[in-house]
Amino acid sequence: MLKKSLILATSIFVAFSSLAEAQDRYQNRPPIIISPDLTAPWVTQLGGRVQPVVYRQQRAIAVQQPGATRKQYLFQRRVQRSGAGIAQPVAMTRAQKPVQRQMDPQFLPQTVAYDTNEKPGTIVIDTNSRFLYLVAGNGEARRYGVGVGKPGFEWAGEHKVTRKAEWPAWTPPSEMRAREAAKGHFLPVSMDGGPENPLGARAMYLGSTLYRIHGTNAPWTIGFAVSSGCIRMRNEDVTDLYERVKIGTKVVVI
């Protein structure tokens, strides 16, 4: 009887020890590796290049997960000991190419038929169709795709180009900073010109307003209503237009 009691006690002790070990093992699993954000800034600033980010393969510790068979666990251990590590998705082990959204070809610069009473050299911006026309005369115009004011920031009118600037600095108006701060986006008081500047490579200022025709650091927004009223263009396109436009050029926004 004593022998049976000792055997039973030993069995209970072993069972509880195994359960405690298993619980401790599952409570201390290796952290889940979440893939980083694979999107990258799209920098097409006059020949600028995006350097791809390399995500190195992670070596994980083989731990038998709930529901996994002993055979699966042992196979996982063999893979680890072989030096191959636990397989990661291909996207995590190779250099990532920047995510580049294709722009609708209609928004690329092109010469189109354009019937207007405006004189050659005039800029006409059709905010509904997201096109900027530089009137060439003879029933033609050079057309560019643009981004325009988002709902609540649309406007129309007639102005002249009063100033031109290359790689302009950006000074967000105080009302814009307050508006964005309410959304949790804190804008700088001022930002020097450069590839990361929202005004992009060139800017043409309209009259005495705060509106401009300018480049952008977000070229995928061309063709959409996204700005606070300014007319934005790809940096390549605004640079081309900049060279064709003089101070005093008439700008009609419809």
Q: Which amino acid is at 156?
A: A
The reply to whether 71 falls in a domain is yes
Q: Where are the beta strands (DSSP E) in the chain?
A: 110-113, 123-126, 131-137, 140-145, 148-149, 157-166, 202-206, 212-214, 225-227, 231-232, 250-253
- Same domain for 88 and 166, yes or no, is no
Q: What is the pLDDT of residue 179?
A: 87
Domain end call among 64, 84, 99: 99
Are 132 and 241 in contact, with CB atoms under 8 Å apart? yes
- Same domain for 46 and 141, yes or no, is no
| Residue 2, CA atoms < 13 Å, CB-side half-sphere | 0
The reply to whether 189 falls in a domain is yes
For every one of its 254 residues, what pLDDT tens digit does the chain have, with 9 covering 90 and above?
Answer: 555 555 555 555 555 555 455 444 444 444 433 333 333 333 333 444 333 333 333 344 444 455 556 666 566 666 555 544 433 333 333 333 444 567 789 999 999 999 999 999 999 999 999 999 999 999 999 999 999 999 999 999 999 999 999 999 988 888 888 988 888 888 888 899 999 999 999 999 999 999 999 999 999 999 999 999 999 999 999 999 999 999 999 999 99
Q: What angle do CA 146, 151, 154 make, to 5 degrees?
A: 60
User: Which residue out of 141, 161, 230, 251 is catalytically annotated?
Assistant: 230
**Is residue 129 annotated as a catalytic residue, yes or no?**
no
Residues 6+ apart with CB under 8 A from 201: 45, 46, 166, 167, 215, 235, 238, 239
Q: What is the pLDDT of residue 13?
A: 53
Radius of gyration of the chain from its Cα atoms, rounded to whole angstroms: 31
The reply to whether 2 falls in a domain is no
β-pairing, 157-166 vs 231-232, is unpaired
CATH number of the domain at 158, please: 2.40.440.10
**Is residue 185 annotated as a catalytic residue, yes or no?**
no
- Same domain for 151 and 226, yes or no, is yes
By three-state DSSP, how is residue 22 classified?
helix
Q: What is the pLDDT of residue 65?
A: 52
The reply to whether 110 falls in a domain is yes
Residue 244's CB is within 10 A of a number of other CB atoms, namely 12
Q: What is the pLDDT of residue 33?
A: 37
- Same domain for 64 and 79, yes or no, is yes
- Same domain for 129 and 243, yes or no, is yes
- Same domain for 195 and 232, yes or no, is yes
- Same domain for 95 and 113, yes or no, is no
As beta bridge partners, residue 163 has: 205
- Same domain for 115 and 94, yes or no, is no
Q: What is the pLDDT of residue 46?
A: 43
Residues 6+ apart with CB under 8 A from 166: 193, 201, 202, 242
Q: What is the pLDDT of residue 101?
A: 64
- Same domain for 90 and 164, yes or no, is no
Domain, as residue range, for 201: 105-253
Summarize pLDDT for 52-76 with one digit per residue, the tens.
Answer: 333 333 344 444 455 556 666 566 6
User: Which residue out of 130, 142, 202, 214 is catalytically annotated?
Assistant: 214
Instruction: Check the CA dihedral 240-242-243-244 and report its sign.
Output: positive
The reply to whether 176 falls in a domain is yes
- Same domain for 228 and 185, yes or no, is yes
By three-state DSSP, how is residue 144 classified?
strand
The reply to whether 56 falls in a domain is yes
